[in-house]
Amino acid sequence: MLDSQKVKDFLYEECAAEVVGIAPANPFSEEHKKRVLASQDILKSANPMMSAASGIYDPQDFVDNAQSVIVFGRNSFFGPEFMSDSNKSDGPRGTIGNFYLNERILNRAIEQASKLQDFLNAEGYNSDSPFQGFPQKIKAVEAGIGFYGKNTLVLNEKLGTWTSISTVITDAPLEPDKPMERDCGNCRKCVEACPTGALTNEYTLQVDKCLIYYLCHLKGEIPLEVRDKIGVRIGTCLVCSDICPYNRKITLNTQDRLPDEEIYPYLIPLLNISQEEYDKKYGDKMFGLIIGGRRYLRRNIAVALGNANDKSALPALEIAAKDEDELVRSHAQWAIDKLSS
C-alpha cells in the first residue's frame, strides 16, 4: 500500500521538490469560497480576460473520490525587487519580476506534477494537477507547507514567501500533515511597507488597492494618486516579500533565474516597442497574458519613466506623447510634466 513517506521521498529524490506536504481532499469552506470569488469578481471587473480563469472547484471536481492533495514547491527567489543604482549607467531600469517572465518555472512545475502523476498511476491511483480554479494556497496551509502571513502569502520556514507551489489531487488515501500553528505575531513590516495600504486589514489583501492590480489587471487610466507609488515597477510589486523577515536568509535560485536585462529591463528603448517586438519578447510569456497587451506595458513604462527622475527619457516620452493610442499619450504626457517640473 502506498504511504505518505513514499510519495514525499519520490518528490524530493525524483522531482527536486524542496518542500512537500499532504492535505486532506476536503471541500473548501464557504468562507474560503466567498473570499476567493470576491477577489475574482474585482479582477474580472477590471480585466474581462480574467473571466476565463474564474470559479473555484473542490478536489472532487477534478478526481472522483479524491482523498488527498499533495502539495510541493521549489525556491522562487530570484533577487531583490530593484536593481542597485550602480547598474543603471546606461539609463533607467524598471522591474518586472522573474516569475512572470520565466516559462522554465511553469514548465518545471508541469514536469514535476506529470512525474508524480505517472508515479501514482503506476501505484494504481488516479490523479489530476489543476491549474485554474483551485486555490493552492489554502491547501498549502492545510498541508503544513507554511502559514498565512499578514501579506496573505504562504510563509515556509525554509523558503519564506518564495515558494512556487504546485498541487496534485489523488484518490490515494494518504496520511495528511498537520497545519502549522503559528502566525506573524506582532510583526507588521509588510503592512507598514505596502505602498498603497492594501494590507491595512491584517491577513487580508484589498485586491483593488494592490499595485499588481493597477499594473496588470486594470484596463484603463492608472489613477493619478497611485502613479508616484508605482516607482519603476512595470509588472509586479514585491515589497511585502522583500521586507519579510522570513526571507532574510533565502538562497538565490540561480538555476531558474533570467538575466538582469530581462528582470530589470532598460525602460527607454522599451517604451516605444513595436507590436512585432512585443509579441516576440512577451507574447508567449505569462507576463504577456497577465498584463493584457502592448498598450498596457507602454502605459506602465511611461509611469515608471516619470518616476525614474532621469531626463534622458524625455525624447522617447515626447514620441509616446504623440502616439495614436490615447492611453499611451496621456501617461507619457504625465511623465513629461513630472520630469519637467
DSSP secondary structure letter of residue 337: H
Mean pLDDT of 84-98: 72
Domains assigned to the chain: 4-77+103-170 (3.40.109)
C-alpha cell at 72: 510541493
pLDDT of residue 102: 65
pLDDT digits (tens, 9 = 90+) for 169-184: 999 999 999 999 889 9
Question: pLDDT-based confidence at 324, cuts 50/70/90?
Answer: very high
Question: pLDDT-based confidence at 129, cuts 50/70/90?
Answer: very high
Q: Distance between CA atoms of 66 and 27, rounded to whole angstroms? A: 10
pLDDT digits (tens, 9 = 90+) for 43-66: 556 555 555 556 678 899 999 999
* Between 261 and 278, residue with greater pLDDT: 278
pLDDT of residue 181: 87
pLDDT of residue 164: 87
Q: Quick check: 319 pLDDT over 60?
A: yes
Question: Please, are residues 233 and 95 in contact by the beta-carbon 8 Å criterion?
Answer: yes
Q: Distance between CA atoms of 54 and 36, rounded to whole angstroms? A: 9
Q: How many CB atoms lie within 10 A of CB 265?
A: 20
